[in-house]
Structure 1
Amino acid sequence: MKSNLNDPSADAPSSLPELLETPLDRVSTEPLQRQLCRRIKEAIVTGHLPAGLRLPATRVLAQALAVSRNTASLAYEQLLAEGYVLADRQGTVVAMLAQSNADAPRQRQRATAAMPTTSRPLASRLAELRPSAPMAAECTALRPGVPTLAQFPFTHWRRALDRAWATASASTLNYGDPLGQMPLRAAIANHLALTRGVHCTAAQVVITEGAQEALTLCVRLLTNPGDTAWMEDPGYRGAKSALQAGDLRVLAKRLDAEGLQFGAKDWLREQPRLIYTTPSHQYPIGTVMSVARRLALIAAAQAHGAWIIEDDYDSEFRHSGDPIGAMQGLVEGAPVLYVGTFSKTMFPALRLGFLVVPPDLLAVLTSPLRELLRGGHSHEQLAMAHFIESGQFARHLGRARRLYRERQQALREALSQHLGVPHSIEGGRCGLHLCVRIDPAMRDVQVVEAARRWGMAPQALSTFALAPQAQDNGLVLGYGNTPIETIAPLAKRLGMLLRGGLA
C-alpha cells in the first residue's frame, strides 16, 4: 500500500507532515514507541493535532518515520488507553480533551464533523454474512469439512500425548513461544517441503489456533480499514468473515475452469491489498487453479504490492493423479502467505493451524505477532510434532486418502443413480466434499432446511457467494465423516426431497 502524506482526503493540518517527517531519536535511551507517543501527546495538548482529526494509519506512520508498524501500533494503543485518541471503524481520531466553555462547542462540532456518518458496529457488519442453516452437533451425515473421526488412530495419538507429558518440564506449563513450539514448526516446515512443495524455514512457520486465526492475523497485520480485498466467489465463509471483520472492501471475483478470474483492468480499477484464494482445491466448487493463472496472479501481485493468502485446507487428499504443489513454492519470493490446518487432516477439536510468513515480511511481522499471540497448547503441539516425525501422520494420511477416495466414488455413483433430477457434479478429485448444482427452481436453502429434519447436514451453495447468481444454486455434500454404507440411503432421501417436495 502506497501512502501519500499530502493526500487532502487524509484531512491533515499543515503541521502533520512536519510531525511525521521529523525522525525519532535513535540514539536516545528512550524507546521509539515512547518517543512517538510523547510527540503525539504534546501535539494534541498544544492543539497542533485538533480534536476530531483522523490520524494516519499505522502503516503510513511507520513508513514515514522508518519504524516498525508494531512501534506505531503500540503508540496508538497507549494513546487510546490514556484517552488522547478514539478508535472507530475507519481508524484513529484525536479525542476532545477538557477545554474552556468558549472553545468546547466549536471543538465538539469539529469532532462530530470528522467522525464517519456510516460507521456501524462490528456485529451489524457481520450480520450481512449469509450463514447456512444451523445444525445440531450430532448432525454429521453429508456435512462438508469434517474428516473421518471413527477411523482416527486414537491409540497412536494417545501415545504421542503421553510422550509429550512424560518429557514435559515445568516450563511447558507456561505460555510458551507465542509463535509456537519450535519442534512443531520444524516438523511442519519439513512436511510441507516434502508433500506440498512449500519453500520455508521453521522460523517462517507460525502456529495458530486453527486456520481462522491465521486468516484474521493476515487481515490485522497487512491491512487498514477500507483497503480492498479480492475473494473467490463462491468462497469460504470463514475468509469472508475475517475480511469483513477487518472492515475491508471485499470484492467478489468469479471463477472459471482455471480458477479465480482477473484482468489488467481489475488491477487498475480495484487494486487489492489482499487476495484470498484456495488454488489447489477451490472451496466449495473444487476447481484447481491452473499454473498459468497462478503465475499470472503472482506476477500481478508483485507488480501492484498485493499479498496473496493461499488457503491449502485439504490438498493432502488428492484422489487421482499427482499431488498439486502449493502456489507458494512456484516462484522464489512470491508474495504468498500460506495457511494450513490440522482440522481436516487430524480432527477439528485439535484447533491447530499454521501460517507460513514470506521471508520479506518475517522481520516486520515477528514483533507484532509476538504481541498479538500468547502461546499455549504446548503439549498438543509437542505431541503433534512427534506424530509427524514418527511417521504416524503420513500413515494416517495414506489410510484416510484411500478411505475418502472410496467414499467420493460411492457418493458420485449414488447421486447419479438416486437423485432423479437434473444436476451436475463438480470437484471430487481432491478433498472431503462434492459440489452438486441443481435447478434454481429448487432453492438450495430450502432443500438444506428439509434435509436437516432428516438428520442430514449438507450446505447450500448459494450461502457461500458474496453476490449469488443463478448458477450458485446447489448442495455442498461432505463424505469425509459419512460411512460408506450410509451414502446410498442418504442419496435416496435427497432425491425424494428434490423430486417430491420438501416436507
Structure 2
Amino acid sequence: MPLELVLRALHDPAADRQREPRQARLCRLLKEAILSGRLAPGTRLPGSRRLAEDYAMARNGVLFAYQQLLAEGFLEADRGGTRVGRLPFRRAAAEPSAPPPVSFLAQRARRLPAAARDESFLPFAPGVPDLNAFPWRAWAKVLQRAWSEVSARQVAYAEPGGEPELRRAVAAFLAARRGVACTPEQVFVVPGGQTALDACARLLADAGDTVWLEEPGYAPARNVMLAAGLRTVHVPVDEDGMAPGAALWRASPPRLVYVTPSHQYPLGSVLSLERRLDLLNRIGGGWLIEDDYDSDFNHARPGAPLPAIQGLRPDAPVIYVGTFSKLLYPGLRIAYLVVPRWAVREIGEALRALHRGGQAMEQRALARFIDGGQLTRHVRRMAPIYRERQAVLRTELRARFGGCEILGGQAGLHLVLRLPASLPDTALVEAALRRGVVARALSTYYAGPDGGNGLLLGYGMAAAERIPELVGRLAP
C-alpha cells in the first residue's frame, strides 16, 4: 500500500504543468519516500516492465530511475529483483522538527553584526561611483581583446599573486598617484578588498591577538577581524585621524593596526604626518594595515596625490591595501596588497596556500586599461564632476538642516552630516528609504553604544541637478 501511494503521485497535474520528466519524477518520489521512512528497507519494487505498464510510463524511463537510485545506494538488486536498500534511513518525525537553535553558528560568527541592505543603485548610497559615467565601451574593447587571446592557461587558475601585466601596471600606477614605493613582485592581486583584509587577519595574527580599529570605522573590516578571532580595540578618531594615547600603547599593544589614513572612513579626516610617523615608530613587531579606501579622488588638493604611509618607510611592516571599486565599478572584485620586500616570499607562499587565483581575463584587461591611460583619463574627467556634486550637496544640506555640522569632503565620494539628538539617524534612514533615498546611519559605524548621530551621504550616483530634490526627501 505505501508503494502504491507513492507511485500514484506520478500522475500529478502540477508536476505535469512544470514539465518535470516522468523518469525524474519517479526517481524523486522514490528517494523522498525512502528518506522519510515511508518505504522501509527491504521493500520490493515492481519490475520495470510492470511498473511502466501500470503507470503509463516508458520502460526505459523506469530503468533510468532504478539505475540512478541503485548507483546512489538507495536501491539494491538481487536475483529476486529490486528492493529498497538496507541503509539506516531514519523515519521522519510525525511533527515537523523545530528549527536549529542560533547557537549552531560558531561564537565568532554570532559576534558579527548584521550587514547593511544592498541599495547601491539608489541616490546617496555611499561607496558607489557613478556607474553610468564609466567608459564601458573602452572597457569592453580591452576585455574583448583579452578574451581574443585566451589560452588554456588563462581559463585555469590565475598566476599566483596575479597576472604579471597587472602587477606591473598597479606598481606603476601607485607610484605615480599615491607615492607607494614597490616593485611588481611586492604586489599581490586578490579577489576583492574583503579577501585582502581577511588574508591580513589570518596570515599576520593569531586568534586572540589584539587589533586596533578606528572608532567609528569601516564595518566590513571589523567583521573580518572578529571572524578571525582577534581581540578588537576601538581607537577614537578626531580631525587628525586615529588618536591612540600613550596609555593605550602600554595597556593593549597591538599585533595589527587597521587604519584608513588618507580618507578616514566614515568621518573623512586625514591622518596627520605626526601620527603616521608615530605609528611607524611604535608598531615594533606588529603590522600596520593601510587601507586606501575611498581616497582615489582628492578634492582638497586636485591633481596632488595624498602620500601613503607605505611610502614614508618602504621597508616598514606595512601592508598597503587597495581596490578598483571606486575608480571602476564594485562588481569587478579586483583588489591588491603591497607587502614589504623582505616579506614577499613568505606572504606569497601563504597567500597561494590560502587562495586560488582567478579572473585572468579581467586582470589582463585592467592592465591594458591602466597602461593605455584610460583609467587616468577617467579619473581626471570624473574629479571635477564629483567636486561639483559635493559642493551642491553641502549647499543643500546647510539650507535644509540649518547649523548641523558637515564632516569630510577632502577626498572620497561621501559627506557626513551630524544630527542633533532630537533627530535619531536610524529613524531618518528608514523614512528616507520609503521615499526612495538611501543614507547610512552614522551610529551604525560605532562599535560602542555611545556612537555618533548623523547621516553618511554618498554623491557618486547623485547627479548635481537632482541633489536639491533628493535632499528634500531626507528632511524630516
Please tell me the TM-score bracket, short chain as reference. 0.7 to 0.9
Name the residue aligned to 2:152.
170
Name the residue aligned to 1:125.
108
Q: Secondary structure at the match of 1:150?
A: helix
Aligned partner of 1:308: which letter?
L
**In structure 1, how many angstroms separate the alpha carbons of the residues matched to 2:357 and 2:113?**
32
Name the residue aligned to 1:446.
427
1:229 Cα deviation (Å)? 0.4
Name the residue aligned to 2:466.
486
Does the 8 Å CA contact 1:147/1:347 hold for their aligned counterparts? yes
CA 1:318–1:336: 2 relative to 1, 3 Å: same
The question of 1:309 aligning with 2:286 is answered no
Deviation digits for residues 166-185 of structure 1, max 9, x if unmatched?
Answer: 22222211112131101001
**In structure 1, how many angstroms separate the alpha carbons of the residues matched to 2:107 and 2:464?**
42
1:259 to 235, 241, 258: 241
The question of 1:356 aligning with 2:356 is answered no
2:207 to 202, 206, 225: 225
Q: After the TM superposition, which residues 95-494 of structure 1 pair with which residues of structure 2 at under 5 Å, given as runs?
A: 124-131=107-114, 134-136=117-119, 138=121, 140-301=122-283, 304-321=284-301, 322-420=304-402, 422-469=403-450, 472-494=452-474
Does the 8 Å CA contact 2:294/2:413 hold for their aligned counterparts? yes
1:418 Cα deviation (Å)? 2.0
Name the residue aligned to 1:501.
none
Aligned partner of 1:209: which letter?
P
CA 1:122–1:205: 2 relative to 1, 3 Å: farther
CA 1:483–1:132: 2 relative to 1, 3 Å: farther
1:159 Cα deviation (Å)? 0.6
**In structure 1, how many angstroms separate the alpha carbons of the residues matched to 2:184 and 2:105?**
35
1:357 Cα deviation (Å)? 1.2
Q: After the TM superposition, which residues 11-50 of structure 1 pair with which residues of structure 2 at under 5 Å, given as runs?
A: none
CA 1:124–1:141: 2 relative to 1, 3 Å: farther
Does the 8 Å CA contact 2:440/2:455 hold for their aligned counterparts? yes
Q: Secondary structure at the match of 2:258?
A: strand
CA 1:132–1:478: 2 relative to 1, 3 Å: farther
Deviation digits for residues 439-470 of structure 1, max 9, x if unmatched?
Answer: 12321111111111111111011111111435
Name the residue aligned to 1:33.
none
**In structure 2, how many angstroms separate the alpha carbons of the residues matched to 1:274 and 1:292?**
19
Q: After the TM superposition, which residues 43-62 of structure 1 pair with which residues of structure 2 at under 5 Å, given as runs?
A: none
1:360 Cα deviation (Å)? 2.4
**In structure 1, how many angstroms separate the alpha carbons of the residues matched to 2:218 and 2:231?**
16
Q: Secondary structure at the match of 1:436?
A: strand
**In structure 2, how many angstroms separate the alpha carbons of the residues matched to 1:204 and 1:237?**
27
Aligned partner of 2:474: which letter?
L
Question: Comparing 398-407 with 244-253, which one deviates more in the overlay?
Answer: 398-407
Does the 8 Å CA contact 2:241/2:269 hold for their aligned counterparts? yes
**In structure 2, how many angstroms separate the alpha carbons of the residues matched to 1:355 and 1:121?**
34
**In structure 1, how many angstroms separate the alpha carbons of the residues matched to 2:113 and 2:468?**
30
1:228 Cα deviation (Å)? 0.4
Name the residue aligned to 2:35.
none
Does the 8 Å CA contact 2:187/2:337 hold for their aligned counterparts? yes
Q: Secondary structure at the match of 2:134?
A: coil
1:209 Cα deviation (Å)? 1.1
When the two structures are superposed, what TM-score results if normalisation uses the length of structure 2? Answer: 0.76
CA 1:423–1:399: 2 relative to 1, 3 Å: same
CA 1:200–1:167: 2 relative to 1, 3 Å: same
Find runs of 4+ consecutive structure 1 residues off by over 6 angstroms. none
1:200 Cα deviation (Å)? 0.8
**In structure 2, how many angstroms separate the alpha carbons of the residues matched to 1:223 and 1:400?**
39
Deviation digits for residues 197-256 of structure 1, max 9, x if unmatched?
Answer: 001111111111111100000001011110000000000011001100011110000012
Instruction: Among all aligned residue pairs of Structure 1 and Structure 2, give the percentage whose two residues are the same amino acid.
Output: 45
CA 1:462–1:361: 2 relative to 1, 3 Å: same
Aligned partner of 1:319: which letter?
H
When the two structures are superposed, what TM-score results if normalisation uses the length of structure 1? Answer: 0.72
Q: Secondary structure at the match of 1:475?
A: strand
**In structure 2, how many angstroms separate the alpha carbons of the residues matched to 1:123 and 1:424?**
41
- Over alpha carbons, which structure has the higher Rg? 2
Deviation digits for residues 388-418 of structure 1, max 9, x if unmatched?
Answer: 0000010011111111111111100111112
Does the 8 Å CA contact 1:419/1:494 hold for their aligned counterparts? no
Question: Comparing 273-282 with 173-182, which one deviates more in the overlay?
Answer: 173-182
Question: Comparing 305-314 with 461-470, which one deviates more in the overlay?
Answer: 461-470
CA 1:478–1:132: 2 relative to 1, 3 Å: farther
Aligned positions, number: 372
Does the 8 Å CA contact 1:147/1:432 hold for their aligned counterparts? yes
Does the 8 Å CA contact 2:111/2:226 hold for their aligned counterparts? no
CA 1:126–1:404: 2 relative to 1, 3 Å: farther
Q: Secondary structure at the match of 1:476?
A: strand
